[in-house]
Amino acid sequence: MFEETAIKKEITENTTNKKMFIESYGCAMNFADSEIVLSILSENGYSQSAGESDADVIFINTCSVRDNAEQKIRNRLIQLKNNKKHKPDLVVGILGCMAERLKTKLLEEENLVDIVAGPDSYRDLPNLLKNVGGGNKSINVILSLEETYAEISPVRINSNGVNAFVSIMRGCDNMCSFCVVPFTRGRERSRDVKSILTEIKQLSKNGYKEVTLLGQNVDSYLWFGGGPKKDFESLSEIEKQNSVNFARLLELVAQVDEKMRIRFSTSHPKDITDEVLYTIKKYPNITNYIHLPAQSGSSRILEVMNRNYSREWYLQKIARIKEIIPDCGISCDIISGFCTETEFDHNETLSLMEKCEFDFSYMYNYSERPGTLAERKMKDDVAIEDKKRRLTEIISLQNKISKNKNKNREGKVYRVLIEGASKRNKEEYMGRSDQNIVVIFNKLNYQPGDYVDVLIERSTTTSLIGKIIAKAEKP
């Protein structure tokens, strides 16, 4: 789920004529957070600038999941620091996970930024902005046990008007030994169900046709009448009756608008339940697609990763998904070369991929992250040459599986939500199937936001190509 994107958004302060520009890198949660930031600042007099060159304030919303992501951001900050030579009053701020991880280092040791704000401190941005200038710098990296930005309505800028992200929870309590997220985003807490439904109802009213519910681990979502609480078993019987788990939330969201597609990400294999699967099966507008990171196919490595499931358990979960939802699309995250990984462990991963036949995967070399259990207690002992070779083999196998699966989809008809013009050919549209596969097709007289049935005529490793044969009214 850590696909890297760069989303550029801008805002201006009406009263002082200040202008702000924001870039976001990393996962979909950062995209959603940038919309929260824009909402907070617009309420404090900011609006859109013409572009980066006009900006008085530039924010970089960051990712710390892999080292190469941080290096790209660091290079961008160095570039912005050089820009300040020609524009001394330019304010540069860093937001998100990298800000939380490095804290004062970027202010003091490297002097790259003027503002550092962690993921839970965005409400404080107006004050942080007021305090910079004249050599002064501002920082707020306090993690919260309660902050969910529940009542803030995100500003949808640079949106296609079709798809939107909706954050349902923040933080993570799964202490996977390789992962920095619990340290950069804090403890897990769920957002008020009423605020989620209010946001989705407004999106429906505004014509959006698809929402993706976001969380580091959506399946552990839990809200009860008295507020957020993590452990369902500790609730009283009355609280349990009034509680909303992820399956119930999915159902409530699906009932808002039967013409709105519902997606979600990310699921943790140990937490996704049959109740969730049967809810997906029950509602046609909940897409038949689950992103279920395995990370490794070796039970030994999974234990070292502290994933709390085995290879056999994961395979049983995949089998259960396919039993309840036979046409479900399934994608995966895979890490190559984690600490102590042997050739046997690597081959177990390849074997798992062959058995599961993922539609696609996000595949990476292991990148040691400072502060994690792996960094503190384990040795990054797999040679980089082996990491790269193993990753190449993983990618090659996934490409083979994806190509074969897409080939088998030729001649079939898929319902697709039109999202916009194809990146490669503006004369064609693109959208995604129920299983989250990219579909390219002829435009005809249809518009983004329309549902169409597409006959698949040919395919590639990553997409399906076809022609529209009918218009549909709903998913």
Give me the domains of the chain, ranges plus CATH numbers. 6-140 (3.40.50.12160), 163-407 (3.80.30.20), 413-472 (2.40.50.140)
pLDDT higher at 408 or 2:
408
Residue with tokens 């993690």: 143
**Closest Cα to residue 98, out of 369, 379, 380, 375?**
369
DSSP assignment letter at 27: S
DSSP string, 260-325: SEEEEE---TTT--HHHHHHHHH-TTB-SEEE---B-S-HHHHHHTT-S--HHHHHHHHHHHHHHS
CA 210 → CA 27, 164, 222, 451, distances in Å? 18, 6, 23, 11
HSE value, Cβ hemisphere, 13 Å, CA-based, for 145? 3
Say how many C-beta atoms besides its own lie within 10 A of residue 43's C-beta.
Answer: 12
Residue 452: phi, psi to the nearest 5? -135, 150
DSSP string, 371-438: TSHHHHHS---S-HHHHHHHHHHHHHHHHHHHHHHHHTTTT-EEEEEEEEE-SS-TTEEEEE-TT--E
* Predicted local distance difference test score (pLDDT) of residue 226: 60
- Distance, CA of 465 to CA of 457 (rounded, Å): 6
Task: Give the β-pairing of 329-336 and 451-459.
Answer: unpaired
pLDDT, one tens digit per residue, over 87-146 is: 888 899 999 999 999 998 888 877 899 999 999 999 999 999 999 977 789 999 999 989
pLDDT, one tens digit per residue, over 373-405 is: 999 999 999 999 999 999 999 999 999 999 999
The encoded tokens of residue 108 equal: 């003091």
* Predicted local distance difference test score (pLDDT) of residue 231: 64
Helix (H) or strand (E) holding 189, with range, is strand 189-190
Give the lowest-confidence range in 3-12, 228-237, 253-262, 304-313: 3-12
Say how many C-beta atoms besides its own lie within 10 A of residue 405's C-beta.
Answer: 18
- Sequence-ordered list of residues with C-beta below 8 angstroms from that of 428, at least 6 positions apart, any chain: 421, 422, 440, 441, 442, 443
Contact between 113 and 107 (Cβ < 8 Å): yes
Quick one: average pLDDT of 342-346?
Answer: 98
Say how many C-beta atoms besides its own lie within 10 A of residue 198's C-beta.
Answer: 15
Quick one: average pLDDT of 250-260?
Answer: 98
- Distance, CA of 239 to CA of 247 (rounded, Å): 17
- Sequence-ordered list of residues with C-beta below 8 angstroms from that of 445, at least 6 positions apart, any chain: none
pTM: 0.91
Say how many C-beta atoms besides its own lie within 10 A of residue 227's C-beta.
Answer: 10
Task: Give the β-pairing of 169-170 and 163-167.
Answer: unpaired
pLDDT at 2 over 70: no
**Closest Cα to residue 196, out of 172, 208, 212?**
212
Q: Which stretch, 18-32, 50-64, 253-267, has highest mean pLDDT?
A: 253-267
pLDDT, one tens digit per residue, over 55-83 is: 888 999 999 888 888 999 999 999 998 88
CA 425 → CA 7, 295, 452, distances in Å? 22, 35, 19
* Predicted local distance difference test score (pLDDT) of residue 1: 35
**Average pLDDT along the chain:** 91
Helix (H) or strand (E) holding 9, with range, is strand 6-13
pLDDT, one tens digit per residue, over 169-180 is: 999 999 999 999
- Distance, CA of 148 to CA of 218 (rounded, Å): 14
* Predicted local distance difference test score (pLDDT) of residue 14: 40
pLDDT, one tens digit per residue, over 183-214 is: 999 999 999 999 999 999 999 999 999 999 99
- Distance, CA of 62 to CA of 100 (rounded, Å): 10
Q: Model confidence at 15, in pLDDT bands (50, 70, 90)?
A: very low
pLDDT higher at 365 or 44:
365
| Peptide linkage before 279 cis (omega within 30 of 0) | no
The encoded tokens of residue 89 equal: 């009053």
Say how many C-beta atoms besides its own lie within 10 A of residue 350's C-beta.
Answer: 17
Per 3-state DSSP, the chain is made up of helix, strand and coil in percentages (nearest 5) of 35, 25, 40
Q: What percent of the chain has pLDDT over 70?
A: 94
